[in-house]
């Protein structure tokens, strides 16, 4: 399992796409890799797609967040990634939770559990215009919503016996 932690100035980023970098870890808390967030300097649909693609290419199966927008959360969940919400920005404490068998965090299971965009309508129109067609622009901004539930789980996702620049503010 590869776990991604979005970082901002050495701490767990308070918002997913506003991270300056991402660190990748094993479920035992061992660092595998790190990379600069392509959406950090330029918060556009294209940059967010690049971030999403990078996470997929690095075979990330779980992401630990503090906060995330509804649209990006929906995309990650639709891609089969487990998204977990940590209670602290302290990466050392978060890594300690990763290494324990009974660490409980909140698993996000529906896009509605993310933060809604205050300016999504404004941005969505610009995204459509920039893409030149509704289908492409629409896909960059929306995930498929599912029923919202809160379920505490082991942070590794394994059962004990056997997841801006500009004027808009969404992921």
Q: 20 and 39 in contact (C-beta within 8 Å)?
A: no
CATH number of the domain within which 81 lies: 3.30.420.130
Whether the pLDDT of residue 22 is over 50: the answer is: yes
* Residue 170 placed within a domain: no
Within a domain: 165: no
Count of C-beta atoms within a 10 Å radius of residue 149 = 11
How confident is the model over 94-126, as pLDDT tens digits? 877 767 754 567 889 999 999 997 655 555 444
* Host domain of residue 38: 3-154
Residue 122 and residue 115: Cα distance in Å, rounded? 16
68 lies in some domain: yes
pTM: 0.70
Q: How many domains does the chain have?
A: 1
User: pLDDT (tens digit, 9 = 90+) per residue, 1-10?
Assistant: 899 999 999 9
Per the listing, tokens 């967010």 go with 48
Q: What are the pLDDT digits (tens) for 118-131?
A: 655 555 444 443 43
Q: Per-residue pLDDT for 162 more than 50?
A: no
């Amino acid at each position: 399992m590869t776990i991604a932690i979005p970082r901002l100035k050495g701490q767990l980023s308070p918002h997913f796409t506003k991270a300056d970098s991402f660190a990748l870890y094993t479920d035992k808390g061992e660092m595998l890799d790190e990379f600069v967030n392509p959406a950090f300097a330029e918060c556009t649909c294209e940059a967010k797609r690049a971030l999403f693609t990078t996470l997929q290419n690095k075979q990330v199966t779980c992401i630990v967040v503090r906060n995330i927008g509804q649209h990006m959360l929906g995309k990650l969940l639709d891609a089969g990634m487990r998204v977990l919400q940590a209670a602290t920005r302290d990466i050392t404490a978060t890594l300690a939770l990763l290494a324990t068998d009974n660490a409980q965090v909140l698993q996000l299971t529906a896009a509605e559990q993310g933060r809604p965009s205050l300016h999504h309508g404004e941005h969505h129109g610009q995204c459509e215009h920039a893409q030149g067609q509704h289908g492409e622009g629409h896909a960059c901004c929306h995930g498929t919503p599912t029923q919202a539930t809160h379920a505490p789980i082991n942070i590794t996702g394994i059962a004990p016996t056997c997841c801006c620049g500009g004027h808009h503010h969404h992921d």
